[in-house]
Structure 1
Amino acid sequence: MCIKKVELESKVQELRSLKALKEETENELKDIEREIISYMVENGIDTEITDTAKITYKPQSRTTLDKEKLTEILGDDLKPFEKTTTYNVLRVK
């Protein structure tokens, strides 16, 4: 597809506009998520069911391998190389 320079400029402007809209929308989403999390924390609950949604805000863990240590010592037992991270996750279904 060949477009002219004028059309290219139009596409660039459209792209900038859409990126700005995306950023604004993402900020609004984060604000709403913070409000939901605040509700969950203030009420001391990790699960809430409404007419249209099941909302959970619970800790979640993740275990990863420390690649640098693993390359230094290649053994069968990988437990010494694991890192566990725990954080809360908001889900709205």
Structure 2
Amino acid sequence: MCISKKELEKKVQELRSLKALKEETEDGIEAVEREIISYMKENETDTEITDTGRITYKEQSRTTLDKKKLTEILGDDLKPFEKTTNYMVLRVK
């Protein structure tokens, strides 16, 4: 598909508009999530059942490796333990 420079400019404007809409939507989502969290805290519950679903607000944990401490133990050569993922990135400024 080959488009003209004018069509490209329209696509860039459309992209900017959609990104602005996305940001507004994400802000709205965060505001509603804060209200739900507030409800859960006020009612001192970690689980709530509604007519349309089940809501939980619970602590969860994640374990990661401390690269600095690992370097202290194994030295600077951490290459055998590294995993690299390559992907394409589109940036429009």
Work out whether the TM-score is over 0.5: yes
- 1:10 is matched with 10
Matches of 1:3 and 1:23 in 2, distance apart? 28
Higher normalized strand content (fraction of residues): 1
* Higher relative contact order, chain-length normalized (CA < 8 Å, sep 6+): 1
Deviation of residue 5 (structure 1)?
1.2
Deviation of residue 71 (structure 1)?
2.4
Say if 2:73 is the partner of 1:70: no
- 2:34 is matched with 34
Matches of 1:24 and 1:70 in 2, distance apart? 41
Gap regions ≥5 residues in structure 2: 75-93
Matches of 2:55 and 2:20 in 1, distance apart? 29
Q: Secondary structure at the match of 2:57?
A: strand
Deviation of residue 69 (structure 1)?
1.2
Question: Considering only aligned residues, what root-mean-square deviation do their CA atoms show, in Å?
Answer: 1.0
- 1:61 is matched with 61
Amino acid paired to 1:7: E
What percentage of residue pairs aligned between the two structures are identical? 78
- TM-score (normalizing by structure 2): 0.75
Gap regions ≥5 residues in structure 1: 75-93
Aligned length: 74
Q: What stretches of structure 1 move > 4 A for 4+ residues in a row?
A: none
Deviation of residue 35 (structure 1)?
0.5
Matches of 1:55 and 1:43 in 2, distance apart? 13
- TM-score (normalizing by structure 1): 0.75
Deviation by residue 1:10-43 (Cα, 9 ceiling, x = unmatched): 1011001100110010000001100100000011
